[in-house]
Copies of this chain bind each other. A is one copy, B any other.
Amino acid sequence: MATSYGQFCPLAKAMEILDERWTVLIVRELLLGSTRFNELRRGVPRMSPALLSKRLQALERHGIVDHEDGHYRLTACGRDLHTAVMSLGVWGLRWIEDFGDEDLDPHLLMWDVRRTVPTASWPPGRTCVAVEFTDLQRARRWWLVVAGGQVDACDYDPGYEVTATVRATLRTLTHVWRGDVSWERAMRARQVEIEAPRDVRRDVPDWFGRSMLADALAAQTAVSAG
């Protein structure tokens, strides 16, 4: 790596930068709005800080990232990667449905869920939803708190009244969040259980967002279908 492909092809020049391990995932995190080092780390937890630092420096050197007062932000050049990154993600979503247990991670899932929660759809005031991964021992219970347009996800009981409890395996909820399967279908198959008063129960699925890629894929499929 770090060596040139010896090709003038713009794709080759792009891949010289982007095909280094982890690099595209860091760009993804930046596109999703993370700017602090430790924020970025949460998005790529299996990466050592040393390596993350090194990659960020490389991205800065290539003019993709700007590092100022402790914030990493995409430059115009970096933001322009949006289309390509989405295309790659949509392709992955469409063609690589299966993933192994080693790809499941409740922290990562809740971190993702947290930042796609459509707070506007939630009731006014404070609302707390509990999530229980029925197949886990550790990191089994989570609480999602929305108040004043702010979201918090924590793995300890914050002590607020719980409006609804969502129960599913980690794999199932991951599939639902990715958009591989709808809430409705998962609930019909009894793979997801929502414990709450009936009227609340109907709303809960709308309180969760889903991956941007799921929306992008749906949009693309709708277009190509006519």
Contact of A84 among B21, B63, B88, B100 (CB under 8 A): B88
Contact of A4 among B5, B87, B100 (CB under 8 A): B100
Q: Pick out which of these stretches binds chain B: A10-18, A114-122, A126-134, A189-197.
A: A10-18
When each residue 86-107 of chain A gets 1 if its CB lies under 8 Å from chain B and 0 otherwise, what string results?
A: 0111111111100110111100
**Interface residues in A32-90 (C-beta closer than 8 Å to B):** 44-46, 63, 77, 80-81, 83-85, 87-90
When each residue 143-183 of chain A gets 1 if its CB lies under 8 Å from chain B and 0 otherwise, what string results?
A: 00000000000000000000000000000001000100000
Q: List 19 A-B contacts (CB under 8 A).
A: A1-B21, A5-B103, A6-B102, A6-B105, A7-B25, A7-B105, A7-B108, A9-B89, A9-B92, A9-B112, A11-B25, A13-B92, A13-B96, A15-B24, A15-B88, A18-B19, A77-B95, A84-B88, A88-B88
